[in-house]
Amino acid sequence: MFETQEEQERVLLLGVTLPEQESSEMSMDELASLATTAGAKVIASFVQKRDCYDSKSFIGSGKLQEVSEMVERESIDTVVVNNRLTPRQNSNLEQVLGIKVIDRMQLILDIFAMRARSHEGKLQVHLAQLKYMLPRLVGQGIMLSRQAGGIGSRGPGESQLELNRRSIHHQIVDIERQLRQVAKNRETSREKRLDDEVFKIGLIGYTNAGKSTIMNVLTDNQQYEADVLFATLDATTKQIYLAEHFQATLTDTVGFIQDLPTELVAAFKSTLEESRHVDLLLHVIDASDSNHAEQEKVVCNLLDELGMSNIPRLAIYNKMDIADSLNATAFPNIRLSAKAKDSKHVLRRLIVDQIREQFEPFAIKVKSSELHKLYSLQKVALIDSFDMAQDVGELSGYIAPKNKWRLERFYG
């Protein structure tokens, strides 16, 4: 028996830098990582400086000829454009180059289709793909008649490309109905958690910053982690103990990325909203990435758009073991390597310190007959000291303002 290995799709990357853009290096590097994550092999990369995008072919005729020659010479299978193409630009490029052309949006959708595991995640990807596909159902071209697979064609599949506009409208309505029901169920679960007094922590950050690794460190669990973009797509919530009996929940969500397509922000709103109601955000930053400052800005800007900028935040500069240098701009912050042996204790201690900053100090007296009440209090309060003398003890610590009512149980 002979094993056959599927040959990697050979891709060429294409981008345009406009005058108002400082540099396209970070964006093009990210596009190469996206293509690799999707299973392609990057053969070449072209960037053209222009005053504006060409309305017909995205790039100028001279550069298009250069790209065409490279496509033929290097047996390129697909051209990936680092911008959002109009249906007309997409069709014209495919006609000239004679191969498949996809844009950044379609590539990201393709990766999301690979990574979605939950029913809701798959519905969200499907919805975003259909909305992307709808305006492209007009006209002719390779894009609407391709039978081959490869990047940019996962998810709904070839059959979806052949459906008429009305059918896709019906599918969009049906998926949105299903997502509303899922969102309703999620909101019910969320309301129960909001009524709960447990401290809630959310992990956010740029894709591949190490959020899942941090989650594994804090939970002693095996959340999927890999050195690829969008390794985690669906929101995951775990319970953790940070100090003694003090409980908290930790939620890991999809990673942010530069120029995240608006369709995906909307489609994954319910997933991202898992972090909208937390008490503390852990912003994980890849300190080893030379573009980490720009990545921080992308995350902060998206948090502003999502109305989450007012949530207390602790920055975790991760991968310090392989970082050349660091200019930390986010405060307060932690600098560590999640892979280090002592990272778990360091991280837990500093998170507890941050929680103390948000809590209020208290000191109460506890009668011996009330000791049974302490267990439930320890779940929501950080206990600093407890000294028992005869029938009365002195208890001090920190507690969230919303949970101060629990202390009244000891005043009787």
Instruction: Tell me the pLDDT of the chain (412 aa) as tens digits.
Output: 444 446 789 999 999 998 887 667 888 988 998 899 888 999 999 999 999 999 999 999 999 999 999 999 999 999 999 988 998 999 999 999 999 999 998 898 888 888 777 788 788 888 888 888 887 775 434 444 444 466 666 655 544 455 567 788 888 999 989 988 887 877 776 666 555 678 999 988 887 888 888 888 888 765 555 555 555 556 678 888 888 789 898 988 777 776 666 666 665 566 666 677 889 999 999 988 888 888 888 888 888 877 888 999 999 999 888 887 777 777 788 888 888 888 888 999 999 999 999 999 999 998 888 888 888 898 899 999 988 887 888 889 999 998 898 888 776 5
| CA–CA distance, 360 with 204 (Å, rounded to integer) | 26
Q: What are phi and psi of 387, to 5 degrees?
A: -115, 120
pTM for the predicted model, two decimal places = 0.75
Q: Where are the beta strands (DSSP E) in 157-290?
A: 199-205, 236-243, 246-252, 280-286
- Residues in Cβ contact with 318 at an 8 Å cutoff, skipping those fewer than 6 apart: 209, 210, 213, 214, 284, 285, 286, 287, 336, 337, 338
pLDDT of residue 133: 81
150: left (phi over 0), alpha (psi -120 to 50) or beta: left
Between CA 197 and CA 407 the distance in angstroms is 14
337: tokens are 């390597």
Sign of torsion over alpha carbons 296, 302, 305, 311: negative
- Alpha-carbon gap, residue 126 to 36, rounded angstroms: 22
Q: What local confidence, expressed as pLDDT, does residue 12 receive? A: 96
Q: Quick one: which of 61, 175, 161, 25 has its CA closest to 102?
A: 161
Place of tokens 């990697």: 8
For 166-195, give the DSSP string.
HHHHHHHHHHHHHHHHHHHHHHHHHHHHHH
